[in-house]
Amino acid sequence: AQSVTQLGSHVSVSEGALVLLRCNYSSSVPPYLFWYVQYPNQGLQLLLKYTSAATLVKGINGFEAEFKKSETSFHLTKPSAHMSDAAEYFCAVTTKRNRDDKIIFGKGTRLHILP
Amino acid sequence: DAGVTQSPTHLIKTRGQHVTLRCSPISGHKSVSWYQQVLGQGPQFIFQYYEKEERGRGNFPDRFSARQFPNYSSELNVNALLLGDSALYLCASSFGFSEAFFGQGTRLTVV
Protein backbone atom coordinates (compact mmCIF):
# COMPACT_ATOMS: atom_id res chain seq x y z
CA ALA A 1 0.00 0.00 0.00
CA GLN A 2 1.10 3.55 -0.65
CA SER A 3 0.82 6.59 1.55
CA VAL A 4 2.06 10.14 1.74
CA THR A 5 2.75 12.30 4.79
CA GLN A 6 3.07 16.05 4.47
CA LEU A 7 4.83 17.69 7.38
CA GLY A 8 3.12 20.90 8.43
CA SER A 9 -0.44 21.76 7.53
CA HIS A 10 0.51 25.46 7.34
CA VAL A 11 3.79 27.02 6.31
CA SER A 12 4.51 30.76 6.27
CA VAL A 13 7.43 32.34 4.46
CA SER A 14 8.32 35.90 3.61
CA GLU A 15 8.18 37.10 0.03
CA GLY A 16 11.56 36.42 -1.55
CA ALA A 17 12.50 33.71 0.96
CA LEU A 18 13.07 30.02 0.31
CA VAL A 19 10.01 27.82 0.14
CA LEU A 20 10.38 24.29 1.52
CA LEU A 21 7.38 21.97 1.74
CA ARG A 22 8.08 18.54 3.14
CA CYS A 23 6.72 15.21 1.92
CA ASN A 24 7.57 11.65 2.90
CA TYR A 25 6.14 8.66 1.11
CA SER A 26 5.66 4.99 1.75
CA SER A 27 5.49 2.49 -1.09
CA SER A 28 6.21 -1.21 -1.42
CA VAL A 29 7.19 -0.75 -5.07
CA PRO A 30 9.03 2.05 -6.88
CA PRO A 31 6.70 5.04 -6.75
CA TYR A 32 5.68 7.78 -9.08
CA LEU A 33 5.47 11.03 -7.10
CA PHE A 34 3.70 14.31 -7.78
CA TRP A 35 3.21 17.76 -6.37
CA TYR A 36 -0.08 19.48 -7.15
CA VAL A 37 -1.16 23.05 -6.33
CA GLN A 38 -4.71 24.14 -5.61
CA TYR A 39 -5.82 27.75 -5.56
CA PRO A 40 -9.05 28.70 -3.74
CA ASN A 41 -12.16 27.29 -5.40
CA GLN A 42 -10.07 25.66 -8.11
CA GLY A 43 -9.13 22.17 -9.20
CA LEU A 44 -5.65 20.70 -8.97
CA GLN A 45 -2.76 21.76 -11.18
CA LEU A 46 0.29 19.57 -11.61
CA LEU A 47 3.50 21.32 -10.53
CA LEU A 48 5.93 18.49 -11.22
CA LYS A 49 6.28 14.73 -11.30
CA TYR A 50 8.91 12.06 -10.63
CA THR A 51 8.65 8.94 -12.76
CA SER A 52 11.98 7.17 -12.06
CA ALA A 53 14.15 9.25 -14.36
CA ALA A 54 16.20 12.14 -12.93
CA THR A 55 15.97 12.44 -9.16
CA LEU A 56 15.91 16.25 -9.30
CA VAL A 57 12.71 17.29 -10.98
CA LYS A 58 11.97 20.79 -12.21
CA GLY A 59 8.42 21.98 -12.52
CA ILE A 60 6.41 25.04 -13.37
CA ASN A 61 6.60 28.42 -11.67
CA GLY A 62 10.19 27.86 -10.50
CA PHE A 63 9.43 24.88 -8.25
CA GLU A 64 11.57 21.79 -8.04
CA ALA A 65 11.68 18.62 -5.95
CA GLU A 66 14.29 15.99 -5.22
CA PHE A 67 13.52 12.30 -4.90
CA LYS A 68 15.59 10.75 -2.09
CA LYS A 69 14.99 7.02 -1.86
CA SER A 70 17.14 6.59 1.24
CA GLU A 71 15.02 9.16 3.08
CA THR A 72 11.73 8.26 1.34
CA SER A 73 11.28 11.96 0.76
CA PHE A 74 10.14 14.21 -2.07
CA HIS A 75 10.38 17.75 -0.69
CA LEU A 76 9.24 20.72 -2.78
CA THR A 77 11.39 23.86 -2.95
CA LYS A 78 11.43 27.25 -4.60
CA PRO A 79 14.37 29.64 -4.14
CA SER A 80 12.32 32.82 -3.87
CA ALA A 81 8.68 32.98 -2.82
CA HIS A 82 6.22 35.19 -4.64
CA MET A 83 2.87 36.39 -3.37
CA SER A 84 1.16 34.41 -6.13
CA ASP A 85 2.54 31.17 -4.60
CA ALA A 86 0.02 31.36 -1.77
CA ALA A 87 -2.10 28.24 -2.21
CA GLU A 88 -2.63 24.68 -0.98
CA TYR A 89 0.00 22.15 -2.04
CA PHE A 90 -0.53 18.40 -2.21
CA CYS A 91 2.08 15.70 -2.44
CA ALA A 92 0.82 12.50 -4.06
CA VAL A 93 1.95 9.00 -4.97
CA THR A 94 0.92 6.31 -7.40
CA THR A 95 2.58 3.14 -8.62
CA LYS A 96 1.06 2.40 -12.03
CA ARG A 97 1.46 -1.27 -11.11
CA ASN A 98 -2.20 -2.10 -10.66
CA ARG A 99 -5.08 -2.11 -13.10
CA ASP A 100 -6.01 1.29 -11.79
CA ASP A 101 -3.63 4.21 -11.37
CA LYS A 102 -5.32 5.82 -8.42
CA ILE A 103 -3.42 8.68 -6.88
CA ILE A 104 -2.96 8.78 -3.12
CA PHE A 105 -2.80 12.34 -1.82
CA GLY A 106 -1.39 13.81 1.34
CA LYS A 107 -3.52 16.07 3.52
CA GLY A 108 -2.02 19.19 2.04
CA THR A 109 0.10 22.12 3.17
CA ARG A 110 -1.26 25.63 2.98
CA LEU A 111 1.49 28.05 2.01
CA HIS A 112 1.18 31.62 3.28
CA ILE A 113 3.38 34.35 1.84
CA LEU A 114 4.16 37.27 4.14
CA PRO A 115 4.81 40.68 2.56
CA ASP B 1 -7.65 22.64 -26.32
CA ALA B 2 -10.39 22.37 -23.72
CA GLY B 3 -9.37 20.89 -20.42
CA VAL B 4 -11.42 18.59 -18.24
CA THR B 5 -14.87 20.09 -17.82
CA GLN B 6 -17.23 19.32 -14.98
CA SER B 7 -20.84 20.27 -14.46
CA PRO B 8 -22.45 21.72 -12.53
CA THR B 9 -19.90 23.87 -10.71
CA HIS B 10 -22.03 24.18 -7.59
CA LEU B 11 -24.96 22.19 -6.29
CA ILE B 12 -27.12 22.23 -3.18
CA LYS B 13 -29.09 19.13 -2.30
CA THR B 14 -31.19 17.95 0.63
CA ARG B 15 -30.37 14.88 2.71
CA GLY B 16 -31.79 11.72 1.15
CA GLN B 17 -31.78 13.09 -2.39
CA HIS B 18 -29.87 11.78 -5.37
CA VAL B 19 -27.23 13.69 -7.33
CA THR B 20 -25.52 13.21 -10.69
CA LEU B 21 -22.22 14.90 -11.49
CA ARG B 22 -20.83 15.02 -14.99
CA CYS B 23 -17.34 15.09 -16.45
CA SER B 24 -15.99 15.51 -19.96
CA PRO B 25 -12.37 14.43 -20.35
CA ILE B 26 -9.72 16.02 -22.51
CA SER B 27 -10.14 14.98 -26.12
CA GLY B 28 -8.32 11.71 -26.71
CA HIS B 29 -8.20 10.72 -23.06
CA LYS B 30 -9.81 7.37 -22.38
CA SER B 31 -9.38 7.21 -18.60
CA VAL B 32 -11.55 9.12 -16.13
CA SER B 33 -11.16 9.10 -12.36
CA TRP B 34 -13.29 10.62 -9.62
CA TYR B 35 -12.06 12.02 -6.32
CA GLN B 36 -13.81 13.45 -3.27
CA GLN B 37 -12.16 16.33 -1.44
CA VAL B 38 -13.64 17.18 1.94
CA LEU B 39 -12.79 20.63 3.27
CA GLY B 40 -9.31 20.70 4.73
CA GLN B 41 -8.30 17.29 3.37
CA GLY B 42 -6.57 15.89 0.33
CA PRO B 43 -8.62 14.29 -2.46
CA GLN B 44 -9.75 10.71 -1.91
CA PHE B 45 -10.03 8.24 -4.80
CA ILE B 46 -13.57 7.09 -5.60
CA PHE B 47 -13.53 5.41 -9.03
CA GLN B 48 -11.49 4.97 -12.17
CA TYR B 49 -12.89 4.04 -15.57
CA TYR B 50 -10.88 3.15 -18.64
CA GLU B 51 -12.51 2.37 -21.96
CA LYS B 52 -15.89 2.19 -20.18
CA GLU B 53 -14.66 -0.49 -17.81
CA GLU B 54 -14.32 0.08 -14.07
CA ARG B 55 -10.64 -0.25 -13.23
CA GLY B 56 -10.65 0.74 -9.59
CA ARG B 57 -12.91 1.59 -6.70
CA GLY B 58 -11.99 3.38 -3.51
CA ASN B 59 -13.36 2.83 -0.03
CA PHE B 60 -16.77 4.41 -0.56
CA PRO B 61 -20.23 2.98 0.15
CA ASP B 62 -22.45 1.48 -2.53
CA ARG B 63 -24.43 4.72 -2.60
CA PHE B 64 -21.67 5.93 -4.89
CA SER B 65 -21.69 4.67 -8.47
CA ALA B 66 -20.30 5.82 -11.77
CA ARG B 67 -20.23 4.99 -15.43
CA GLN B 68 -18.37 5.99 -18.56
CA PHE B 69 -20.02 6.55 -21.90
CA PRO B 70 -18.80 5.66 -25.43
CA ASN B 71 -17.52 9.22 -25.87
CA TYR B 72 -15.47 8.72 -22.64
CA SER B 73 -17.47 11.24 -20.64
CA SER B 74 -18.48 10.08 -17.21
CA GLU B 75 -21.15 10.45 -14.55
CA LEU B 76 -20.81 10.06 -10.81
CA ASN B 77 -24.04 9.24 -8.99
CA VAL B 78 -24.63 9.46 -5.28
CA ASN B 79 -27.86 8.15 -3.73
CA ALA B 80 -29.40 8.86 -0.34
CA LEU B 81 -27.21 11.89 0.28
CA LEU B 82 -25.79 12.46 3.74
CA LEU B 83 -24.46 15.66 5.23
CA GLY B 84 -21.01 14.08 5.13
CA ASP B 85 -21.17 13.86 1.35
CA SER B 86 -20.68 17.63 1.18
CA ALA B 87 -17.37 18.07 -0.63
CA LEU B 88 -15.60 19.14 -3.78
CA TYR B 89 -15.85 16.34 -6.33
CA LEU B 90 -12.97 16.28 -8.76
CA CYS B 91 -12.75 14.52 -12.07
CA ALA B 92 -9.42 13.71 -13.69
CA SER B 93 -8.65 12.39 -17.14
CA SER B 94 -5.56 10.75 -18.54
CA PHE B 95 -4.37 9.10 -21.73
CA GLY B 96 -4.01 5.50 -20.69
CA PHE B 97 -1.86 5.25 -17.56
CA SER B 98 -0.19 8.63 -17.50
CA GLU B 99 -0.35 12.07 -15.96
CA ALA B 100 -3.80 13.00 -14.67
CA PHE B 101 -5.38 16.33 -15.53
CA PHE B 102 -8.01 17.62 -13.12
CA GLY B 103 -11.16 19.62 -13.73
CA GLN B 104 -12.29 22.56 -11.60
CA GLY B 105 -14.58 20.36 -9.58
CA THR B 106 -18.21 20.35 -8.50
CA ARG B 107 -18.91 21.80 -5.07
CA LEU B 108 -21.72 19.74 -3.52
CA THR B 109 -23.44 21.01 -0.42
CA VAL B 110 -25.92 18.73 1.35
CA VAL B 111 -28.32 20.45 3.75
pLDDT tens digits for range A14-44: 999 999 999 999 988 888 899 999 998 889 9
Cα–Cα nearest to A50, from A28, A72, A74: A74
Cα–Cα nearest to A103, from A32, A50, A9, A45: A32
Q: CA-CA distance, B10 to A110, in Å (whole number)?
A: 23
pLDDT tens-digit series, residues A72-110: 999 999 999 999 999 999 999 987 666 667 899 999 999
Tell me the count of A-B CB pairs closer than 8 A. 60
Task: Indicate the SS3 state at residue A62.
Answer: helix
Q: How confident is the model at residue A52 (pLDDT cuts 50, 70, 90)?
A: confident
Would the CB atoms of A107 and B43 count as touching at under 8 Å? no
CB of A7 within 8 Å of a chain B CB? The answer is: no
Contacts of A41 in chain B (CB under 8 A): 107
Q: CA-CA distance, A41 to A31, in Å (whole number)?
A: 29
Q: How confident is the model at residue B1 (pLDDT cuts 50, 70, 90)?
A: low
The one-letter amino acid at B91: C
